[in-house]
Amino acid sequence: MTCSILSRIAGFASLPCGAGAARRARGGPPGAVAPAAGHPVVSRRPRAPRGWALFFLLAGTALGAAPVVHPDHVDLPPNPAAVAYKKEITRDPATWQWNLPLALPLVTHGVIRSASMRREVGYNIYLPPGYAAESALRYPVVYYCHGATGSESSDTSVARVVDAQIGKGHIGPVICVFVNAGHYGGYRDRPEVNVMAETLIVRELIPEIDRRYRTLAAREGRVLLGFSMGGGGAVRLALKYPDLFCAAASFGGALGPDPAAATPDRVSDGEDAYHWATANQAKIKGRVGLFFVVGQEDRMFPLHAPFLQHLHGLGLAFDYRVLGGVGHDLWGSMARCGGEAMRFLASRWMPARMASIPAP
């Protein structure tokens, strides 16, 4: 079954698998590009939804491809020192570590005082080449959201993808902030256990980053990127705060159950991504870019079909990649599709960045 056949069945615009040249998906949102060989592509455009959920289940099987060496490939081995703390934590918030200062490549550790949680919280920051020398320039910011058990130090190898894309001239200079939202915080506020992950990011960390660094302190210069719990968190925050973020990219995102099929113990609480996509539909449409990557073997793969169908029903554009032979693997997914995700995000912040450059 070819991409074009699936396009007619499901009512979306697609590009042939293996298209090598970067180009915009026909009818897709700005920044939608065809990846290198082996990356199935879906770029949604508004049409009457037909067989949508079925397509997403078929896509992982019919379009899955063996791993290939992508031109953007960056070797991303996990840093053992950055995840050693995981042996000491459980789901009990009392065991969580909120400040993990480590000397890691490409990033600098910082700390803010969270008033909402009355504690010190760490972050890591990547500053692009030339940041110190170009004192008049302001930079867009990527906020990276870690997955369950993660921290501000667990996934900083992602900075290597950002740095490589800048070095190759594929994207302009950008700041990347690695947050610590609690090892199992879900990017939600849980005041009963003194976990205020959402407030920490939205009300405390972002204003402090804008104060400390030369950022483009507006929604047009601010995006989210995340994996697993952080992928779902990034999407939810972008949909809930469309006046704060202009795009989100999710890798293996925990997008939540379909509310229409919720079981008694997994009922939508009115705070999930489904709710905010509907509630903020008018503010999101044409303003917030959404990019999804998931492995065919990822346990999160089944969660994507109902959520993307929901977005499609609302007429909200998104890009979607299914990686054949990939499970719930940040590093495998990022090595194959991280560069493309960064270019997608850059297409959203680029107008604001260009406008901020001082005239000669």
> Rounded to whole angstroms, what are the CA distances from 116 to 112, 194, 199, 300?
12, 8, 7, 31
User: What does each of the 360 residues of the chain score in pLDDT, given as a tens digit?
Assistant: 223 222 222 333 333 233 322 223 323 333 333 333 344 555 554 443 445 444 554 444 333 444 444 566 666 666 788 888 888 889 999 999 999 999 999 999 999 999 999 999 999 999 999 999 988 899 999 999 999 999 999 999 999 999 999 999 999 999 999 999 999 999 999 999 999 999 999 999 999 999 999 999 999 999 999 999 999 999 999 999 999 999 999 999 999 875 555 554 445 678 899 999 999 999 999 999 999 999 999 999 999 999 999 999 999 999 999 999 999 999 999 999 999 999 999 999 977 666 666 655
Residue 109, beta-bridge partner list = 124
Nearest partner of 53 among 346, 309, 340, judged by Cα: 309
Q: CATH assignment of 80-257+269-356, given 3.30.750.24, 3.40.50.1970, 3.40.50.1820, 3.40.50.880?
A: 3.40.50.1820
Please report, for the chain, the start and end positions of each structural domain, with discontinuous segments joined by +. 80-257+269-356
Mark out the alpha helices in 202-280 (DSSP H runs): 206-212, 229-240, 273-279
Q: What is the pTM of this model?
A: 0.82
Spatial separation of the C-alpha atoms in residues 188 and 256, rounded to whole Å: 13
Nearest partner of 88 among 77, 76, 98, 103, judged by Cα: 98
In three-state secondary structure terms, 108 is strand
Between CA 291 and CA 80, with CA 231 as vertex, the angle to 5 degrees is: 125
Spatial separation of the C-alpha atoms in residues 273 and 294, rounded to whole Å: 17
Per-residue tokens: 333: 């997914």
Cβ–Cβ under 8 Å, residues 342 and 171 = yes
> Rounded to whole angstroms, what are the CA distances from 169 to 62, 160, 346?
34, 14, 12
Q: Strands, DSSP E only, in the chain? A: 41-43, 108-114, 119-126, 141-145, 175-178, 189-190, 195-196, 222-227, 247-251, 289-295, 319-323
Residue 260 CA, chain-centre distance (Å), reads 25
